[in-house]
Structure 1
Amino acid sequence: MTASPAAVSRSSRGQAMAPPTVPIPASAFEPTDGTVLRWLGMAGFLINARGTLLAVDPLLEGFDMPVLIDFPIEAADIPRLDAVLVSHSDNDHYSVPTCTALAPVTRRFHSTRYVGELMTEAGMPAEGHDIGDVIDIGDVRITVTPADHSWQNAFPEPGQRVFRDEDCCGFRIDTPDGTIWAPGDSRLIRDHHLTMPSPDALLFDFSDSEWHFGFDGAVEMANAYPDADLLLHHWGSVDSPDFAPFNADPDTLWAVVANPQRIHVLAPGEPFRLGG
């Protein structure tokens, strides 16, 4: 739904919360006459593009922080996926428990070279990619896009690998019904994030975190594509009022985003049809 600021509820500690969950039915996995997205909560999405089924950064179980939402489906209830796309190795994006549970019903996992190696070592049918690679799945074409999210290097631990920019990515997903851009967690890369051909829908991370776009950077990105639908995510799911990456507030967007009617405060599991 396209909500108004008054529609956003708050936790007892004042944190903006996602609307009540809409369970995902079995029919969501059947062929469709268009492309339908469903927010899974956290940073995850389920995409059904005329019967081609993709999950982006799914996290449905086993997270290590308290959550504010009911997940809209259990991993065990997902009947099939043509692909799972994982943007980077943080456990709210590469959920090992979720991906392990999805492996028997997933044709292929796709991520960066680094995460692809982790998945292969865990026994998942995985493929790692370079930035710029193109993946064709049925009538869907996916381009791996750059991201800047190597936060681990700022907090080195003994024996830790040096993380590279190419260990993180986004995904530009071209469907028969339009383009979805999932840029992943990233700091703003001005000559990339502000200069792409406009997507029809932007999976929109607007948290005020120094290792993400930051609020001002997210708004600048949104306004660089004034006709793209903004599907809010990475907010309202984790009980973390003092942790910026998870505590974004949709109320802060209405006055600063061009064409604010394109802001979509979806409930977990609620269907969104690409192109209206």
Structure 2
Amino acid sequence: MCVYHRHINIYLLVSISAFLVLTCAQASSSQLCDPQTQYPRDGQCCSMCPPGTRMQSSSSCLDVVCDPCGTNEYQDKYTTDSKCKRQPYCDPNTNFESPVEQSMTVKTICMCKDGFHCSGKECITCTKHSTCHPGYEVVSEGSQTNDTVCRPCPSGMFFSSTSRKCEKWTECGPGFYAAEGGTGESDTKCVSRRRTHIIVGVIICVAVALMMTIGVGWYCCGNSRRKEHENLNGHSVEDALHTDECEDERIISNPVEDEDTDLDLGKTDNGNYFAQESGKPPRLSHQESQTYCINMNNS
């Protein structure tokens, strides 16, 4: 009975010893492998595939076969995986910039376009930066992760589009006056007093010149009309005078015949009276006057 128990104890001791030896051997072999570039397998240190590659499934510990990652794929560390990781898609329709060139060893980070920022922590889409309204200044510019921060301009200051900051209102110096007061959106507008006088003088000169031009034009027009009227009246008077003279000549040359009264026509050298033929008017020598009047009337 004692012998039987003794054999059992010996067997247990041998088994435990063998287990401890194997465990120590595996532990020592795993401690010798580089955890970054190697992995233990069957008591050996096997090499991993480098970044930018993937391991073929047919690879063995002694014969490692690695293939490069494909398009839009990457592997950023040593690996035993047979597949590479997929690069994220930067959609330009959601205001992301399209990457010019993607790496097989680094994960692509989608960047928002200029003037846009991520709409959330996960940055699924990009949102346009806010624009500061007139009278507000920029406290902090927008970035990839944050929007633009604005605040109203303090009293006595205005927003300058040049510096994108609030600036103090301009104080008008000697010889100038504030034509328009400053606001949160615009600066004070200073105007020279001399300039105002010049403008007023120019306006007065222009008005005087305009009035003189109108007066001269009115005078010339009236004078021209007056001359035309005088010419018309002159011809009428002259024609009337010639008409009256002709009428007088006609009366003289054609006297009214008085049948009841004897005309004293004078005497002859022998003392006899002149006798006018019955039915014929006396003839007087006014032929030239009649001809002249006829010519004037025809003209």
Q: Report the structure number with the largest CA radius of gyration.
A: 2
Check whether TM > 0.5: no
The structure in which a higher percent of residues are strand is 1
Higher relative contact order (CA 8 A, sep 6+): 1
TM-score, length-normalised on structure 2? 0.15
